[in-house]
Amino acid sequence: MIKELLSNSYLFGANAPYVEELYEKYLQNPGAIDPAWRDYFDKLANLPGVGAYQGPDVPHAPIVSGFAQRAREGCLYVARRAGIGEKQTKVLQIINAYRFLGNRWAQLDPLKRHPRPEVPELEPSFYGFTEADLATAFRTGSFDMGVEEATLREILDMLRQRYCGHIGAEYMYIADVQQKRWIQARFEPPRAQPRFDSEERKHLLEILTAAETLERYLHTRYVGQKRFSLEGGESLMVALQQLIRHAGTQGAKEIVIGMAHRGRLNVLVNILGKQPAMLFEEFEGKKKSDLIAGDVKYHMGYSSDVATPGGPVHLTLAFNPSHLEIVNPVVEGSVYARQVRRGAHGKQEVMPVLIHGDAAVAGQGVNQEMLNFSQTRGYGTGGTVHIVVNNQIGFTTSDPRDLRSSLYCTDIFKMVEAPIFHVNGDDPEAVAFVTALAVEFRNTFHKDVVIDIVCFRKLGHNEADEPMVTQPLMYRKIAAHPGTRKLYAEKLQAQGVIAAGEDEQMIRDYRAALDAGKHLHNPAISDFKSQSAIDWTPYVGAKYTELCDTRVPLAELQRLGRRLTEVPEGFTLHPRVQKVIEDRRLMIEGKLPIDWGMAENLAYATLLSAGYGVRISGEDVGRGTFFHRHAVLHDQKREKWDEGVWMPLEHLQDGQARFQCFDSVLSEEAVLAFEYGYATATPNELVIWEAQFGDFANGAQVVIDQFLASGEAKWGRLCGLVLLLPHGLEGQGPEHSSARIERFLQLSADFNWEVCMPTSAAQMFHLLRRQMLRKQRKPLIVFTPKSLLRSKEAASNLEDLTEGTFQTVFGEVDPLDPKKVTRVLICAGKVYYDLRAARREQKLDHIAIIRTPQLYPMDDCRIAEELAKYPRLKEVVWCQEEPENQGAWYAKHHTLLPLLKKGQSLHVVARPASASPAVGSAAVHARQQKEIVETALGALK
C-alpha cells in the first residue's frame, strides 16, 4: 500500500531518491506523474519549514526534509495506486538494500577463506517474495538497468552483478544526494562496467609482471634481506599506474604519495622510475651517502617526472619512518603548500595519494585527526585518494576477533562520508576501474575517496619471518594461490588476448632488463623542468653561524605598526581588544614599551613586507592562548561566519607576501605533521606551529622524534618549521607548566635544530626574523613565556628593534666590579628576573648572572668570554626552575664543565628531582621558587 510505502525507512531514510525523482518530475511537468502522487505533492504547502506553496520554486531541501519527517511520524497518506502496489514497494526496498549491504556479499577475498555471511535483507524471501514472483516485471525506479521495467530475477541478477561481484561499494551513508547519484550513474548502468581493449589488458598484465618479477628477482638475488615484499598485493601497481594516468588527463601536475614499507621498493622502481642499478647498490651497501645518518632503503623517498596523456606529472614519494601512518598528514601539508604556490587551480593540479596497510589505517589515531581537518579551510587539500593494501592481516594478527572492532578496516573514512570501493586484488580490471572512478570523484567533489584492495601477503612481515608459525590456516591458502599475475595471464590466454607463452616471455624480458640494471618500461622523463619547482640549492649546507642583519629602520617599523593598528570603519572590537590596539598605537609612537605581542606582530609584518610568507597554526593562535597576539580581530556585531573578521597582517601593502593564520582543530600530532610537511615544501615562508600549552607537544612526540629532530640526518630533508611552546612553572599544577626542555635537548645533536628560550620582546622579534633572513633551514624550538608576555621587565624599547640582534648569551647587565665576583649564575627563562630582583634587593655584588637564550647549540665560546671577566671566580651555578632531572641541567652540564678553570666548581640549583613536572599546590610552588632563589644567592649545599 502507498501508505506503507511512504512510511518505510528504506524509502524515506536513504532511498528517498525514488520519491525525490518523482518530485523533480512533478516540478518540471506535474502532468507527467501519477494523479495520486500529483495530489500528494500539491499538498506540500503544509510540510514543516516549507511555508506557502509556490509551485516549482519550492526549495528542494525542505521538501526532502519534509518527506523524512512525515515518514518518521507515520502521517503520510496517498491514495492506493494500481500501478504501485505492495510488491513494487518491496522491489524498491531490495534495490536500496543492495546499495547499502551488497558489499557484504561481494567476492572480495582472493583466498576465499570465509563463507558468504547471512544478510537476510539481500534475500527476496525477506520481503515475502516467492519463486513465482521472479518472473514478474517491476519498475526499476532509480536503478539504471537500461530499461524502466524488468523481471525480479533480472533485477536481482543485475544488483548482484553490480554490488556483489569483485567490487563492493559503500557510499549510501553520504548525505549529499548528488554525490550518491553520481556514483550510481557511473557504477550501476550496464555501460558503466569495466571495458578494456586488448592492448589495455596486455598493459595491465605487463604491470603485474613487472611487480611480481621485481620482487622475486630481489628475493633470489638478495636472500634474507628485508624489503617488505609486495607479493600478493601486486594490483597496487595497477592502481597507481591508472591513478597517475587519469589524474594527468584531468589536469594534475603533481602527485605526492605517502606510504609505509610494504611494496615501497616496487613503487620506487616501477612507478617512479628509479633505476634498478641504484636499488641494487643500496642492497649491496655500495651506494655512497653524504647524509649524517641515513636510513634503510624502504624508508627513503624519491621524486621524478612521468608522462601521462595529459602531459608530464611530477611524482614525489615522501620519506617515511616506521611509524607507518604518521607520514599521511606530512603529505597533506606538503600538498597544501604546493597548492598554495600554484594559486587558484592548485587543488586541481596537486593531488595527495596515501597508501595504507589494513591494520595500521584502522589502528593508528593520527588518521582520525587528519580526516577531521581534511575539509577545513587551513588544511583541506581538495580530497585525497586513499589506497588500502588490505593484506587481511596485522603483523601476526589474522584472527578476526583480534583485528579490530569495526566490520571493515576502512570504516574510519565514513566519518567524512568518503565513498569506499572494496575490490578483489585478483581482478586487475576491477582495480583499474575503481581507481579511475576514485580519481574522477575526487576531482568532481573535492573529497576523500577510498580504494580498498583486498589481497594477501605472500611472505611474512619481513623476508626473515615465518608466517606459518602464527597463521597456518591462512598460509596454507596462500601457498596454494598461483598469484595474481598467473591468474590474469591464464584468463587473457583463454580469451585469445595473448598467445601461449607470451606471459612467460614478458618475465624473461623484464629479468633481462633487471640484470642490466635498467628499466624495461622507463616512465621517468629526464629533461622536464616544472615552473613551480622550488630551488633548494641556496639553503643546502647553510650554517647556523651565518650572520644576518635583523634590524629594521624606525620609519618602516612605525609605518607597519600603524597598519597593524588600523581597523575598518564600523568594525566593533571587544573592549579588551580595543585597549590592546590602543596600547599598540602608543607603543609604535614610543609612548609605551613594546610588549611581546606587538614585537611578534611586527616581526611578521616586516617579513611579509619583505616578501616572506608567514603561516601560523595551532589551537587558538589567532588570539593567542594568553590573549597576547590578536593577529585575527573579530567584529563584535558580526552576524555571519564569513564576515566581520579582520587580519591586519593581510593588509600591510600592495604585493605583500601571503599571510595565513588558522585556529586548528583540537589536534597536535596530525597538525604538527601537516605543518612539517608544509615547511619542507616552502623554504620562503615562516611556518609556525604553536602549542596551546607547551606540554601539548607530548601528543605530537612521534612527529618531533621521527621528523623534526632527525629528518635531515636520515633523509637530508631541510625544514625551517618553528615550534612555539609556552613554558614556565608558575604554580598552575603539573599540566601546562613544562614544555619538556629536557626532551628537546636530549634529541639535540649534529646541529639538527635550534632550541631557544628568549626572555624579552625584542629578542623574540630578532629571533623570528633571523629564522628567515638566514639561509639555514632548520627547525626552531622556542620555549615562550606566559607571565612574561605582559611583564614590564620583558618589554622592550623601539630602539631594541631598530638596533641589535638575537643574543645567544647575555652577560651581566648591572655595573658590578668584576674583581669582587666569586660566583656566576647561568640561567635561561623567567627565573632570570627572579634572581636579578632578589640580588638587587639584597645588594649582593659578588654574584653575576649570565643568561643563555639559546640552549642549543649553546654558545660556549661566549659563555667562556663572560666567565673570563671575573678573575676571582670560584663557583659556577646552573640555576633552573624545573626539577633537577628535567630542564636543561642534565643535557648542558657536560658543555659547561670544560669551560671551568682550575679551582672553579660547577653546581646546580633546581627543584628536587621529580616524576611530575610541577607540584599541584600554588603554595608549595611559591615556597620552592623562593628556595631556588635563596639557594642560588646564598650558601650552596
For residue range 87-141, list pLDDT tens digits in order: 999 999 999 999 999 999 999 999 998 899 999 999 999 999 999 999 999 999 9
**C-alpha pair distances (Å), 689 with each of 604, 693, 819, 851:** 14, 12, 46, 26
- What pLDDT, on a 0 to 100 scale, did the predictor assign at position 82? 35
- What pLDDT, on a 0 to 100 scale, did the predictor assign at position 284? 65
User: Which has the closest alpha carbon to 276: 346, 343, 227?
Assistant: 227
Looking at the structure, tell me whether residues 605 and 743 fall in a common domain: yes
Q: d(Cα 141, Cα 148) in Å, to the nearest integer?
A: 7
Looking at the structure, tell me whether residues 736 and 881 fall in a common domain: no
CA 375, chain centre distance (Å): 11
Is residue 149 domain-resident?
A: no
Looking at the structure, tell me whether residues 698 and 796 fall in a common domain: yes
Is residue 285 domain-resident?
A: no
User: For position 697, which CATH number holds?
Assistant: 3.40.50.12470
User: For position 904, which CATH number holds?
Assistant: 3.40.50.11610
Looking at the structure, tell me whether residues 823 and 788 fall in a common domain: no
Last residue of a domain, one of 507, 540, 563: 507
Residues 6+ apart with CB under 8 A from 783: 694, 725, 726, 727, 739, 741, 755, 756, 757, 829
CA 639, chain centre distance (Å): 32
How are strands ordered across the β-sheet holding 302-306? 167-170, 420-424, 449-454, 385-390, 350-357, 254-259, 313-317, 302-306
Asked whether the beta carbons of 426 and 360 are under 8 A apart, the reply is no
**C-alpha pair distances (Å), 656 with each of 100, 425, 672, 692:** 51, 51, 26, 29
Looking at the structure, tell me whether residues 794 and 824 fall in a common domain: no
Looking at the structure, tell me whether residues 380 and 312 fall in a common domain: yes
Is residue 798 domain-resident?
A: yes
Rama region for 817: left / alpha / beta (φ>0; ψ in -120 to 50; rest): beta
Domain count for the chain: 4
User: Which has the closest alpha carbon to 839: 808, 862, 816, 871?
Assistant: 816
User: For position 359, which CATH number holds?
Assistant: 3.40.50.970
Looking at the structure, tell me whether residues 428 and 456 fall in a common domain: yes
Looking at the structure, tell me whether residues 782 and 824 fall in a common domain: no
Looking at the structure, tell me whether residues 370 and 337 fall in a common domain: yes
Percent of the chain residues topping a pLDDT of 90: 73
Cβ neighbours around 173 below 10 Å, total: 14
Is residue 183 domain-resident?
A: no
- What pLDDT, on a 0 to 100 scale, did the predictor assign at position 73? 42
Last residue of a domain, one of 763, 778, 802: 802
Asked whether the beta carbons of 254 and 350 are under 8 A apart, the reply is yes
Q: In terms of residues, how long is the chain?
A: 941
Average confidence (pLDDT) per 10 residues, the chain, 941 residues: 41 52 69 70 55 46 55 37 70 96 96 93 95 94 90 95 95 95 92 85 95 90 78 96 96 94 89 86 67 56 89 92 89 96 95 95 93 95 97 81 89 97 97 97 98 92 79 90 96 95 94 87 72 84 85 97 95 95 96 97 98 96 94 91 90 95 94 97 96 93 94 91 96 92 96 96 98 96 95 95 95 96 97 96 96 96 96 97 96 94 95 94 93 92 67
Determine the structural domain holding residue 859 and report its residue range. 818-937
Alpha helices (H) along 461-537 = 472-480, 484-494, 502-515
Last residue of a domain, one of 473, 507, 541: 507
Is residue 334 domain-resident?
A: yes
Q: d(Cα 278, Cα 295) in Å, to the nearest integer?
A: 15
Three-state DSSP class for residue 825: strand
- What pLDDT, on a 0 to 100 scale, did the predictor assign at position 21? 65
Looking at the structure, tell me whether residues 772 and 879 fall in a common domain: no
Looking at the structure, tell me whether residues 337 and 451 fall in a common domain: yes
Q: d(Cα 294, Cα 387) in Å, to the nearest integer?
A: 28
Looking at the structure, tell me whether residues 782 and 823 fall in a common domain: no
- What pLDDT, on a 0 to 100 scale, did the predictor assign at position 50? 45
Is residue 186 domain-resident?
A: no
Is residue 518 domain-resident?
A: no
**C-alpha pair distances (Å), 691 with each of 136, 248, 696:** 66, 38, 6
Is residue 32 domain-resident?
A: yes
